[in-house]
Amino acid sequence: MLALGKLLELTLAGREPTEKIQLTRQGVRLHWLAEGALEVTPAPGEDAGLDLLLSAGLHGNETAPIELLDRLLHDIASGTLLPRARLLLLFGNPESIRRGERYVEQDINRLFSGRHEHTSGLEALRANELEHLAASFFGKPGRKRLHYDLHTSIRASKIELFALQPYATGREPNREELARLQAAGIEAVLLQKQPGITFSSYTYAHLQAEAFTLELGKAMPFGQNQALDLGRLERRLRQLIESREPPAVETDGLKLFGVAREVIKHSDEFRLHLPADVQNFSELSVGYLLAEDIAGTRWVVEEEGARIIFPNPRVRNGLRAGILIVPAAL
């Protein structure tokens, strides 16, 4: 196998490869662009017109997606997976991956769409670099653009595999992409209703890619993801890469949710009235006092069928401490 196929090993060791460009026996080109960043170009005459960005490890303790990308790249480098799509594979936050921690200084997935310009530090610099890498990759006209940003959740979830669809003015969810997600084993999609500052929000709103954040089970250390079944997703990604994907048209079984409200932590006085082990997609009854903060601020559940996702009272002041969601339809 080519040395560049060991991108994860290089990233974990903090090493830069001696050779930046290598070719497989079939003529597939691997190009090391930056730490944790590898571009894959199909062999001459084999390009089917898709630009596919796969990112993982924006949070360094979310290892199942990192291991998934590592398997795909190993097979590309060894010649057993033959890409007909251009690929950009990104391990998002190398230093936090090496430490096995969610982040080093601040949450990198809250620093996109220019937000990194208003702060400093390791993650701000990396968010800026990731934006430039994605913009360059998606800079070729007349091609299909797709971005999956792969994550795992801090906590367990009643719906284990789900996606977040970013929002952009003038764009609507693409039914074909939703059908593709369902075929890949995604059980639910949260349709966001305002611009975001995540990586997938950036590629969706600013680079006109179809883009999703995929939440794939609970965060576990390297080598401890055996209980998580990503088989359907991995098969679909391999089919996408090789341009042999069967049609996906059904979305009847896909659960759709919309954002009712975001719970924003304003101060150190913030209190979230949920058990510490509450799962994503837990249902909340009307009238439930969800959270309190300074100046008498209260979040009381008013929505029928409301559920909570991403509850986290330990975020920095000014950031989202949870999302109230409700069932939705296209």
Taking only the tens place, the pLDDT of each residue in 184-242 is 999 999 999 999 999 999 999 999 999 999 999 999 999 999 989 999 999 999 999 99
User: Can you list the domains of the chain with their CATH numbers?
Assistant: 3-242 (3.40.630.10), 263-327 (2.40.50.630)
Among 52-56, 115-119, 142-146, 235-239, which stretch is predicted with the lowest mean pLDDT?
Answer: 115-119
- Over residues 244-257, mean pLDDT: 87
CA atoms of 42 and 28, how far apart (whole Å):
5
Q: Would you state the pLDDT for residue 31? A: 98
- Over residues 91-97, mean pLDDT: 98
Strand-pair category, 37-41 with 86-91: antiparallel
Q: Would you state the pLDDT for residue 251? A: 80
> Does residue 298 carry a pLDDT above 90?
yes
Q: Which of 202, 105, 109, 208 is nearest to 154 (CA)?
A: 109
**Token digits for 303?**
């929505």
DSSP 207: S
Q: Would you state the pLDDT for residue 140? A: 96
Strand-pair category, 188-191 with 255-264: parallel
* Four-residue CA torsion sign, 203, 146, 40, 216: positive
Q: Would you state the pLDDT for residue 252? A: 83
Dihedral angle computed from the Cα positions of residues 236, 237, 238 and 243, in that order, rounded to the nearest 10 degrees: 90
Distance of CA 246 to the CA centre of its chain: 23
Question: For the chain, how long is the longest CA-to-CA vector?
Answer: 66
At 277, is the secondary structure helix, strand, or coil? coil
> Does residue 66 carry a pLDDT above 80?
yes
**Token digits for 225?**
């993801």
pLDDT category, 280, cuts 50, 70, 90? very high
Q: Which of 215, 262, 269, 302 is catalytic?
A: 215
Q: Would you state the pLDDT for residue 319? A: 87
**Token digits for 61?**
């303790």
Residue in this structure with the two tokens 């662009």, named with its chain if needed: 33
* pLDDT tens string 136-179: 999 999 999 999 999 999 889 999 999 999 999 999 999 999 99
pLDDT category, 1, cuts 50, 70, 90? confident
Dihedral angle computed from the Cα positions of residues 150, 283, 320 and 197, in that order, rounded to the nearest 10 degrees: 40
pLDDT category, 329, cuts 50, 70, 90? confident
Residue in this structure with the two tokens 């890409």, named with its chain if needed: 83
Q: Would you state the pLDDT for residue 14? A: 96
pTM higher than 0.85? yes
> What is each CA distance from 174 to 88, 201, 328, in whole angstroms?
22, 15, 15
Q: Would you state the pLDDT for residue 69? A: 98
Answer yes or no: are the C-beta atoms of 216 and 150 closer than 8 Å: yes
Length of the chain: 330
CA atoms of 224 and 167, how far apart (whole Å):
34
- Average model confidence (pLDDT) across the chain: 95
Answer yes or no: are the C-beta atoms of 193 and 201 closer than 8 Å: no
**Token digits for 192?**
């966001």
Q: Which of 112, 70, 111, 110 is nearest to 89 (CA)?
A: 70
Q: Would you state the pLDDT for residue 249? A: 72
Long-range CB contact pairs, 288-296, < 8 A, 24+: 290/263, 290/322, 290/324, 291/263, 291/321, 291/322, 293/265, 293/266, 293/267, 293/269, 294/266, 294/267, 294/269, 294/270
- Over residues 241-260, mean pLDDT: 90
In terms of phi and psi (left: phi > 0; alpha: psi -120 to 50; beta: otherwise), the region of 37 is beta
Q: Active-site residue 215, yes or no? A: yes
% of the chain residues with pLDDT over 90: 93
